[in-house]
Structure 1
Amino acid sequence: MLKNAFIILFLCFDINCQSNKDLYNGQYNTRPDGSEARLPKPGDNNYRTYLYNNRRYGADPSRYNPYNPNINQPGGFPYNPLNTNPLDDQFKYNTNIDPNNPDAIFPGVLGGWREDLQGRERRDSRQLKRDIFVNTNYGQVQGFKVYLYDNPDPNSGYRPWPPRQHPGWQLLQAVDWGPACPQPVRYTGATKGIRDMDEDCLYLNIFSPNTEAGATAQKYPVMVYIHGGQFSSGASNLFPAHMLAGFYNVVVVSLNYRLGALGFLSTSDENSPGNYGMLDQIMALRWVRDNIEPFNGDPNSITLFGPGAGAASAGLLALHPQTSHIVSRVIAQSGSALADWALIEDKFRVQNTSLVFGRLLGCPIDSSWKLVNCLRQGRSFYELGNAEFQPQVGFIPWGPVLENNFTYPGDEWYEGWRARDWTFLQTKPEDLITARTFNPALRYMTGVTTQEAAYVLYNNESLAPGYEISEQWFDQKVRELVLRYNYTLNPREVYDAVRYMYTYHPDPHNLTAIRDQYVHLLSDFLYRAPTDKMVKLLLEQNVPVYMYVMNTTVEAYRWPAWRQYAHGIEGVFLTGAPFMDQEFFPRRLRVDRQAWTPNDRNMSHFFMKAYSDFARFGNPTRSRILGVHFELAQAGQLRYLNLNTTFNSSIQLNYRQTELAFWTVYMPNVIGRMVPTYPPITESDRLYEGDIFMVPELTEGGIDNDTAARSRDNIYEYRDVPLKRPHTPQTLTRTLSQPVTLQSSRPPSEASTGSALSLKESTVSRAPAPVPRTRSRTQIVHGVPQTTV
């Protein structure tokens, strides 16, 4: 029986949220003059203690910033005569919206402690209760960070594995943020907001305005936040929901799910079907439905929302037969379940990705079992999370996979799991919409920005500092795009069509226009066109849909004009950042409180109010918000709210329909698209089935299901067979100028002459005739093995 658990982190119940750090760290216990603050002791008045990971957390109410008590007081706080900051007085909102919850406090105050000043208490919140206990189906929770599911322990040989329910506990003291799931280190650190990373990462955070049992007869709507990050990065703690929950009386849940190879590695067979990150989300969603009532959440009113990959996940879960009945609302921010990157429908593409990844980490790839066994037992989570490469086909290497003709472990193969625990999705989302597998009460809201893909340029440091691009650079990127998506029937015609559509014809040589058009090209292809397709399919099924286009920015950040309306910008407003303690955000996003403008504060309240009203009523503007309102989209009249500022927004029709139809109608139906082909992992002399590369059955090449045993009796025995020889990671310099050449470990005389492995069929297929194979050299270029001839 496995002991490891998929863990849930309950953070911030009752807005008296605990997010504590080590009390003994001198950084948090010194006055500005350098003298040491007195630590509380048992028996002191107002002494509170929590034990977590052998650390004690307490509070010293007399030591909260006595030199400037209001320096970080959230905007909109109940009037304090000591506060003379005019910016804080401009926005006064009644925090006690719920008459049955008179003790509701302003969010941004973590149970009286700020994240960076643990052990010191705000004067405004000294009277608030500290000891919070909530009963769940799994046991009692103190503080709000709780174990939820079993997270398969890699040390037990169960990586990657589906999650399972936690057996329960008596009392769990949950007083700390959980670690993020393994991901590339460039996304972690204090400046990025991810301080801890561990494979034991399956936590969720709960933000509730009130947890008093029976305090209110009306349950709060539940909003579940799924973070973005292209299924390879991100964490739930990057979305502090204190303001959203406290201002507008909703229960907010944010969750972690496994990322990258640990979450989505797939060999399309029983060794690793994949989609573990999505199975994590399904398990979390079920847990919320079954346990949210003690936090005064309504299990019958659950809204999913999130940006990018989070939006795509929300759409997939709303259509998934196992979770569609749970989801009554979806808010998709700059993402769609119908995007090419949201669901990989070609299993041979994911097989190839797994092969390239295994080769990158020095694992054998001649069979799926050896590959998975090496990654499971021979590599650390740091190695798995930090290995990055650019796929030859598609936008991102990892993501949900359509399980078309997959095989799964049998019911009796592993104790604690059955075959159904491994399955995610076997039907295309378009077909699920047509079949109306979604909740009959589903309502959908979605939005995009006018500069979605500007981050692609900003992340290219070679373009700094001006980020200007030439015509030649633009042409090269268009060619790469055409080849990456394998429009191999007529690539020249596809290139010409894309080039024509996204040329600024009034002045084709204008560098600013070229940059803007490139941003539009990627924004349309990756985000807007899939969003438009999703909206139209839902409207055909009479699903109410609201749309918006972000044409306003966070003025406090003072971003340059070409990337002011960036991907995911709504998250800044949704967290109530203009009113929140800046310590809740990554250092790169922190700004002085004086920098927030009236428009920033207005937009923040607009988004929190619109999102919470949509979760509560299914209408984002049941009443106008600062003069702004939404209208339902209709087939043929795609109304959307064009958000400039709260005083300069308007309802408009049919956003960029010509450009979006170019991707959803013209490209698939007129130009045509071949079945993608893949670079061979090793050399082969012959081509079969016309356009499909055949991979020879060398020791280091190809992929085959080598798990010969299928019965309960010997599957464990077969799985435990050690590798014949150790494989050590190899450092690969993935540059065109310095390719790394790898020699096959198998002498040419031993090369197989009787069979070749086809990625197209995922089975061993016999060659027409024995043909000696003498070439076995392989080069790794940009992380993808290329054959040398």
Structure 2
Amino acid sequence: MNSWYLAILVIVFYEVGFCTAGEIPSVDTKLGTITGLRKTITFLGNDHTVDSYLGIPYAKPPVNERRFQKPEPREPFSEPYQANNFGAACLQFSWFEEITDSSEDCLFLNVYVPNSKPDESGGHAVMLFIHGGGFTLGTGNTYVGETLASVGNIIVITINYRLGLFGFLDLYDEDGPGNFGLWDQHLALQWVNENIAAFGGDNARVTLFGESAGSTAVVLQALYPGNKGLFRSAIAESGAITMPFTVPYNHIKPATYFAESMNCNVENKAEMFQCLQQAPAENVLKVIVDTITEDFSGGSVKVTLNPSVDGEFIKRRPADMYIEAKTEILEEVDFFRSITFMNGINAAEGAVFTIMHADPQNIDSFKVSREQMNNQVMPAAAALAFSFNRTVTDALKQLLLFEYTDWKNPDDPDRIRDQLVRFYSDVFFNVPAMELSRLHANGTNAGSYVYNFRADVGGHLYPTPSWARQTNHGDELGPVFGYNFRYNKILGISTYTPTEKELRLSNKVMTYWSNFAKTRNPNEPKTDSTGKVWPIYTTASQDYLIIDEEDSIGQFMYVRELEFWRKTLPMFFEAIDHKSTVSSSPSSKDGHCEKDGPCN
């Protein structure tokens, strides 16, 4: 993902030394000279100097005829580029994150460089982060990489990529083939590969990492053989490819909804594509805003577009790939197993979905009665779990209620709510994550690592109710980035001050992550800030690290849940969908069919 001109230039750069704080850092890349900003940050009482290069365009603006096309590399700068400010976020309606600077011209990246000697002569290890947001919202600008870069002594890069209709329109033909957002990410990796040496980076040591939909994107990139040589390791935080809605079956439906909302002809796909390509960006955004404002949950489904099976970047549906990989050699799985992989989930990820059933003005008081769970909540949750592709029959509902009931206290509203959190955690995060780690570990020599993040944190990245006592979706990101966020853009607060305990936790997590980037082993180089030795995950032992105030080792994480969702339920559906009936007539002798055979 990073590239360098000559190793000797990197060595000379670090032997000569660094500019003093306050000077303007500058690098000469293949695209031209780029200037940035230098600042000093303090973490756990230690000062670190870091150089930030913000808002670097890595592709031509994807507008006009380049809308709904693969991104094109940016041409060289005609004069020195001042990378002093974030570039615009990709066009979106921010449901809870305050993003006011979104634009269709949004393909920018940010580079954070520690002002210190690298751990190896070839240059700093590099980490490229892909933000989450359901492929619909978010920006790399939110995740400020200064602390992770300086404390971890690595280069950190955050990127924007096209979202929603602009990033994932797929009409299942040569017009609008989909996955433009994934191609954006791929081009950003190529940009790093060709230019990172100028920043002091080592393009032989690149790690891709992301959270939520960004984690899913990381996995999709790790399954695309065209990325060979662009990165050697990947970290997936709370996102996998078999999560519901990740690769939906129907992309025509949301595309048609947009087209109809803007009075396009939907009878002819070529005309529909042309109309969508020429529509003013503000008109597309207005459709999203109006639809979600009118009906948040139902509306968001109408205007959400995700990655699709395009035959090039994604060749088959994830569920099919898992089955085929058991008996066939698949190129994408081969590539996936060639990289070192870290995969993890938080203790109670499902809390982020559970609050959909609550009053948005009073999520802290949300409780669920047994009657509500039986007749309203579980049917709705089950429909979401199966992406609305399966009818939630009474038999299916009863089976799910049986599995997700605390039978010691079946009618306790708090326990019912906890079981709902468990349901969403299993469906969207736990089960997809564990089957992904099994896929990777089964046949790799590169190394697999798995974690479960359970530490108590404040400053949640997403709205979190007080009753969510375990770590919610996104809670690991504070420690990963050293609590360096644009909090005013997320939670509407000017800042968040982590406790001493949280800072120590963050130091440990950043050490694990930066170790992994440097050596492909979260334990090396060892430091006093790490806790237990993190074991390799294998399909036999299934060891994993529990990240907490005091770390510990666990085994066989969510094996029961994986068996239930991937074996028991399919057998149930098979029995329901293909029921066989035997019609028989009793014999005249005794009114019963013979024991060992059907009646004639």
The interval holding the TM-score normalised by the smaller chain is 0.7 to 0.9
Q: CA separation of 1:585/1:166 partners in 2, compared to 1, >3 Å: closer, same or farther?
A: same
SS in 2 for 1:462: coil
Instruction: Verify the 8 A CA contact 2:383 2:392 in the aligned structure 1.
Output: no
Task: Decide whether the 8 Å contact of 1:303 with 1:331 is kept in 2.
Answer: yes
Deviation of 1:569 (Å): 0.9
Partner of 2:511, secondary structure, is helix
How far apart in 2 are the matches of 1:674 and 1:153? 49
1:206 and 2:111 matched = yes
The change in CA–CA distance for 1:537 and 1:473 in structure 2 (over 3 A counts) is same
AA of the residue aligned to 1:271: D
Hey, what does 2:63 align to over in structure 1? 153
- Shift of residue 173 of structure 1? 1.9
* AA of the residue aligned to 1:574: V
User: Which is higher, the Rg of structure 1 or of structure 2?
Assistant: 1
Residue 393 of structure 1 deviates from its aligned partner by 12
What pairs with 1:179-218 in structure 2 (closer than 5 Å)? 179-189=88-98, 194-210=99-115, 217-218=121-122
Q: How does 1:307-326 map to 2 (within 5 A)?
A: 307-326=211-230
Code of the residue aligned with 2:352 in structure 1: it is Y
1:165 pairs with 2:73 = yes
Partner of 1:566: 472
Give the CA deviation at 1:439.
6.0
Once residues 302 and 408 of structure 2 are traced to their aligned partners in structure 1, the CA distance between those partners, rounded to angstroms, is 31
Q: Which amino acid aligns with 1:469?
A: V
Query: 1:592 deviation in Å?
Result: 5.5
1:608 corresponds to which of 490, 504, 510: 510
Cα deviation, residue 103, structure 1: 5.1
| Counterpart for residue 124 of structure 1 | none
Partner of 1:370: 271
| 1:159, distance to aligned residue in structure 2 (A) | 2.3
1:654 counterpart (538, 545, 556): 556
2:370 to 463, 471, 494: 471
Q: Does residue 438 in structure 1 map to residue 438 in structure 2? A: no
Q: Distance in 2 between matches of 1:204 and 1:563?
A: 35
Residue 456 of structure 1 corresponds to 353
Q: 1:216 to 1:544 in 2, by over 3 A?
A: closer
Contact 1:315 / 1:337 at 8 angstroms: preserved in 2? yes
Quote the residue 1:524 is aligned against: 426
Whole-angstrom distance in 2 between the partners of 1:362 and 1:101: 63
Indicate the residue corresponding to 2:307 in structure 1.
400
C-alpha contact (below 8 Å) 2:349/2:473 kept by paired residues: yes
The equivalent residue for 1:768 is: none
| Structure 1 equivalent of residue 129 of structure 2 | 225
**Deviations 1:401-427, CA, capped at 9 Å, x for gaps:** 0125xxxxxxxxxxxxxxxxxx42223
The 1-side partners of 2:356 and 2:536 are apart by 36
| Structure 1 residues 215 and 664: CA distance shift in structure 2, 3 A | closer
* Structure 2 Cα separation of the partners of residues 674 and 365 of structure 1: 37
Indicate the SS of the match to 2:359.
helix
Q: Aligned residue for 1:112?
A: none
Instruction: Name 1:644's counterpart in structure 2.
Output: 548
Specify the SS of the correspondent of 2:247: coil
Change (3 A) 1:159 1:674: farther
Please state whether the residue corresponding to 2:23 is helix, strand or coil.
coil
Match of 2:32 among 129, 135, 139: 139
Which residue matches 1:36?
none
Q: How does 1:224-373 map to 2 (within 5 A)?
A: 224-344=128-248, 346=249, 349-373=250-274
Deviates more, 1:528-537 or 1:479-488: 479-488
Contact 2:382 2:392 in 1 (8 A): no
Per-residue deviation, 1:633? 1.3
Name the structure with the higher helix share: 2
Deviates more, 1:430-439 or 1:216-225: 430-439
* 1:67-103 deviations in Å (ceiling 9; x for gaps): xxxxxxxxxxxxxxxxxxxxxxxxxxxxxxx995975
Partner-residue secondary structure (3-state), 2:514 = helix
* Structure 2 residue runs without a partner (length 5+): 1-12, 37-52, 578-600
Does 1:426 pair with 2:315?
yes
Q: Which amino acid aligns with 2:560?
A: T
Match of 1:551 in 2: 454
Distance 1:457 1:395 in 2: 20
Q: What's the counterpart of residue 587 of structure 2?
A: none
Q: How do residues 59-208 of structure 1 correspond to structure 2 at under 5 angstroms?
A: 127-143=20-36, 144=53, 145-154=55-64, 157-170=65-78, 171-189=80-98, 194-208=99-113
C-alpha distance in structure 2 between counterparts of 1:188 and 1:581, whole Å: 12
Query: Quick one: distance in 1 between partners of 2:181 and 2:104?
Result: 12
CA contact (8 A) 1:141 1:172 kept: yes
| Preserved contact between residue 224 and residue 303 of structure 1 (Cα < 8 Å) | yes
For residues 421 and 234 of structure 2, what CA distance do their matches in structure 1 show? 27
TM-score, normalised to structure 1, is 0.61
Deviations for 1:635-688, whole angstroms, at most 9, x for unmatched residues? 13211112231xx3210111221122211222234424999xxxxxxxxxxxxx
Gap runs ≥5 in structure 1: 1-97, 105-126, 405-422, 676-789
Change (3 A) 1:175 1:555: closer
Aligned equivalents of 1:588, 1:101: Cα separation in 2: 43
Is contact 2:232-2:340 (8 Å) kept? Answer: yes
CA spacing shift, 1:276–1:604, aligned 2, 3 Å: same
RMSD: 3.1
Q: Distance in 2 between matches of 1:135 and 1:619?
A: 32
Look up the match of 2:591.
Answer: none
Q: Deviations over 1:199-247 (max 9, x none)?
A: 11110001111499x9983311110100000100110011101001111
Does the CA contact (< 8 Å) of 1:614 and 1:620 recur in 2?
yes
Q: Which amino acid aligns with 1:537?
A: L
Alpha-carbon distance between aligned partners in 2 of 1:350 and 1:672, rounded to the nearest angstrom: 27
2:342–2:450 Cα contact (<8 Å) kept: yes
User: Aligned pair count?
Assistant: 522
Q: Distance in 1 between matches of 2:214 and 2:485?
A: 25
User: How much has 1:585 moved relative to structure 2?
Assistant: 6.4
- Cα 1:617/1:163, change in 2 over 3 Å: same
Whole-angstrom CA distance in 1 between matches of 2:31 and 2:573 = 55
Deviations 1:372-403 (A, max 9, x none): 22222234343355354756998993210012
Q: What's the CA shift string for 1:706-728, capped at 9, x where partnerless? A: xxxxxxxxxxxxxxxxxxxxxxx
Alpha carbons of structure 1 residues 273 and 220: separation in structure 2 relative to 1, 3 Å? same
Residues 1:396 and 1:637: Cα distance change in structure 2 (over 3 Å): farther
What is the identity, as a one-letter code, of the residue corresponding to 1:427?
Answer: R
| Superposition TM-score, scaled by structure 2 size | 0.80
**Residues 437/393 of structure 1: CA separation in 2 closer, same or farther (3 Å cut):** farther
- On the 8 A contact 1:556/1:591 being kept in 2, the answer is no
In 1, are the aligned partners of 2:34 and 2:83 still within 8 Å (CA)?
A: yes
The verdict on how the C-alpha distance between 1:525 and 1:556 changes in structure 2, with shifts beyond 3 A counting, is closer
Please say if 1:505 is aligned against 2:411. no
- Is 1:514 equivalent to 2:416 in the alignment? yes
The CA deviation at 1:472 is 3.4
- Higher mean alpha-carbon deviation, 635-644 vs 230-239, is at 635-644
Structure-2 change in CA distance of 1:589 and 1:101 (3 Å)? farther
